[in-house]
Structure 1
Amino acid sequence: MRLPDMPLHDPFIVADKKTATYYLYTSNAPSVSGVDGIGTMVYRSRDLRDWMRPVVVFRTADQEELWATRGAWAPEVHEWGGKYYLFTTLHNQDKPLPIPPPNQWGTPFPVGNYMRGTIIAVSDSLLGPFTVIDRSRPTPPENLMTLDGTLYVDPSGQPWMVYAHEWLQTIDGTMGAIRLTPDLSGTVGDPAYLFKASDAFWISEQIPGGVPHQLPPYVTDGPQLYRTPDKSLIMLWSTYEKNVANPDGTIGGLYVQTYAVSKSGDIKGPWSQRRTLVRNDSGHGMLFHTFDGRLMMVLHRPFNNARGKLYEMQLLGHELRVLRQRTDLDGGG
């Protein structure tokens, strides 16, 4: 299989040096994996061009008394303490959350507020099966509607989950972080606020005639952290431009891939926003190194019926830029 033929939303690649294999995780697509159910599947490749048919590594149906019923979005797998940990976002529409009070943007949306958040599951293998550690609740505070949790380990060795706080609760979506216990089974202390979507200055830039480029709601999606050689911290994240809030609590518009920089190297920032890296309804990217040392970014495009796209990247200090799209691998488009 090749990327143009592979259904692929919220891609995450593990470049495993032990097996000289790239593992590409995404939500289960039964039409491709041959396995029914909500969960996570993984494609494998030696060269980023030719991929094996995916195998399912996690299914919600295999987890007894799990609080969630739907989702399995944005799967990531991280090695930690000799084991492998799957982070994926689940939700349950039958567990509504209270509508937050009005803020400076107005009253949060009355529909779509229900329990959503990232769970952590563990396995001894990159191929699973993964077992949820805490089946009673998501890892971030359960009163917050969150998604796209990712692992970050600070210079002291403290693990964190960084996540997006849904615009449905805030109108102006935010990024947050919470410390994890050493075995990733729970959290420590209160969550930290990192930044809000409208901090991306280009979202509200004026266009001819003085009309705002975009009005709220503002979306935060897909955080992924990367430590630079100069000890700064980069966060890839995604949002929408020219967005429209639909009555059912979904967003319409064009997805974009952007990033922010914490020059202090601290997860709490301060965070400085940068312009978009890739537009054209592209996003939820992550950075990884090929086995020959090249810095690459994988993302999906378009948002619906998504396929994986690969880019060679360049890092100049803590400034990130696209060198070229690898159309020889992803088929272009």
Structure 2
Amino acid sequence: MNYNKLILFFICTVLCQTVVRAQQNPKNPLDIPLGDPFVLFDESSATYYLYGTGGTENGFVAYSSNDLNSWKKHGVVYTAKQPKSWGTKDFWAPEVYHFKGKYYLFYSAHWKENPSNELENYRIGVAVSNSPVGPFEDLTGAPLFDPGYPIIDANVYFADDGKLFLYYSRCCYEHPVSSQIADWAKEKGFFKEIEESWIYGVELAADFSGVLGEPKLLLRPPTSLTDSQSEWESRSVTSREVNRRWTEGSFLFKQNGLYYMMYSANHFAGENYAVGYATSGSPLGPFKKSPSNPVLEKNTDNGGVVSGTGHNMVLRSADGQLWCVYHGRTTKTGDQRLVFIDRMSVQKDGKLVVHGPSVQREGSTK
């Protein structure tokens, strides 16, 4: 027997199995009860780390995996019970980045400095750790910056030229906007006014100490009823669910020289939460929404079991494959948000396609 050939065959078999396993769709939904999921691929350890909203009170938990299927829970990685904490509640949408040897956690929370007693006093903070599983400690005792209105859903883009950009969503809270959709809702007697959330972008200081320049408005809900985006982005209003239209949960990535900004519309707690995207030749726009929107939405109208699909991020796995990571609900899990990971592709014509929502199991109710 040629032992060298045998060893080579064994090595090839193991490698092939690893590649195949990495290319297989994870078994959706993952048995991980989190919203607003974010996955970091840590190249130093060749490990995936998953974070999201929920799992603990006033903080965040983390999970790790080597194959996007089997996940290990690491427990609490950030807690507001620390000297520099500035948040009091509603700790949402964590994103973690490995930068210059450290790990930085961006998140949203309710700011304790609230002299006018606002109900939604949200800002964005930054915490740092030497490990992807924490403990993360706040950089300062205050939010990253204060634009003068409540903001959530931080996303950071590291540009090729070394610049950093921060994207966030201005909350709907006390932000009524005039539009044909708002006029229609008033005429129908549904609502007296329609509040909106808008996505902004701004350059971020290299040491995460603040922002540079003034934030720029990048995306907002359509104002005209004849706009092709109006129907799907207004479903929470037209279904009489709530008097708000959202543009939130943004995520920016670059593919073939084009900047893609994915975003979510409609009520995060409702069945109509869905994802669209816009493209630009620059990190700060102008962005043009895709005519193929939404690219991810409920499938219950077509005999499926998934609804409330949204607040996604884009993961480039170790084998170069693009994955859309998002949360959703199933008919079995009810209001419990669970993590989904579906294959995603960008076609030759630039069109973005999410191959989901896919379901291999209806989920967990824990």
TM-score (norm 1): 0.79
Match of 2:345 among 295, 314, 326: 314
Is 1:259 equivalent to 2:277 in the alignment? yes
**AA of the residue aligned to 1:183:** D
- Output the CA distance in 2 between the equivalents of 1:312 and 1:273: 19
Is 1:57 equivalent to 2:77 in the alignment? yes
- Secondary structure at the aligned position of 2:339 is classed as strand
Is 1:27 equivalent to 2:53 in the alignment? yes
- Secondary structure at the aligned position of 1:167 is classed as coil
Shift of 1:253: 5.5
Shift of 1:212: 6.6
**CA deviation string 1:248-299 (max 9, x = no partner):** xx9756211221111x233232333440111121101111122222111111
Residue equivalent to 2:288: 271
Match of 1:283 among 307, 310, 329: 310
Shift of 1:126: 0.9
Residue equivalent to 1:181: 205
- Output the CA distance in 1 between the equivalents of 2:355 and 2:213: 41
Is 1:139 equivalent to 2:159 in the alignment? no
Maintained 8 Å contact 1:85/1:120:
yes
**AA of the residue aligned to 1:254:** N
Match of 1:193 among 204, 217, 234: 217
- Output the CA distance in 2 between the equivalents of 1:273 and 1:79: 31
Shift of 1:86: 0.4
Residue equivalent to 1:115: 121
Shift of 1:87: 0.5
Flag the 1:125–1:330 CA change in 2: closer, same or farther, 3 A.
Answer: farther
Q: Once structures 1 and 2 are overlaid, which stretch shifts more, 167-176 or 88-97?
A: 88-97
**Two-structure CA RMSD over aligned residues (Å):** 3.0
Match of 2:109 among 83, 86, 90: 90
Flag the 1:43–1:330 CA change in 2: closer, same or farther, 3 A.
Answer: farther
Flag the 1:154–1:216 CA change in 2: closer, same or farther, 3 A.
Answer: farther
- Output the CA distance in 2 between the equivalents of 1:235 and 1:40: 25
Q: How does 1:145-160 map to 2 (within 5 A)?
A: 145-160=150-165
- Output the CA distance in 2 between the equivalents of 1:319 and 1:14: 25
Instruction: Name the % identity.
Output: 27
Flag the 1:212–1:5 CA change in 2: closer, same or farther, 3 A.
Answer: closer
Flag the 1:289–1:216 CA change in 2: closer, same or farther, 3 A.
Answer: same
Match of 1:72 among 76, 91, 116: 91
**CA deviation string 1:12-44 (max 9, x = no partner):** 0112232221111123414xxxxxx41111111
TM-score (norm 2): 0.73
- Secondary structure at the aligned position of 2:97 is classed as strand
- Output the CA distance in 2 between the equivalents of 1:330 and 1:222: 25
**CA deviation string 1:84-117 (max 9, x = no partner):** 110110114772659xxxxxxxxxxxxx644201
- Secondary structure at the aligned position of 1:135 is classed as coil
- Output the CA distance in 2 between the equivalents of 1:18 and 1:192: 35
Maintained 8 Å contact 1:96/1:114:
no
Flag the 1:147–1:232 CA change in 2: closer, same or farther, 3 A.
Answer: same
Residue equivalent to 2:262: 236
The number of residue pairs the alignment matches comes to: 297
Maintained 8 Å contact 1:310/1:329:
no
- Output the CA distance in 2 between the equivalents of 1:191 and 1:294: 32
Name the structure where strand makes up a greater proportion of residues.
Answer: 1
- Output the CA distance in 1 between the equivalents of 2:351 and 2:115: 41
Q: How does 1:204-223 map to 2 (within 5 A)?
A: 204-205=230-231, 217-223=244-250
Shift of 1:331: 5.8
- Output the CA distance in 2 between the equivalents of 1:308 and 1:251: 15
Q: Once structures 1 and 2 are overlaid, which stretch shifts more, 120-129 or 191-200?
A: 191-200
Larger Cα Rg: Structure 1 or Structure 2? 2
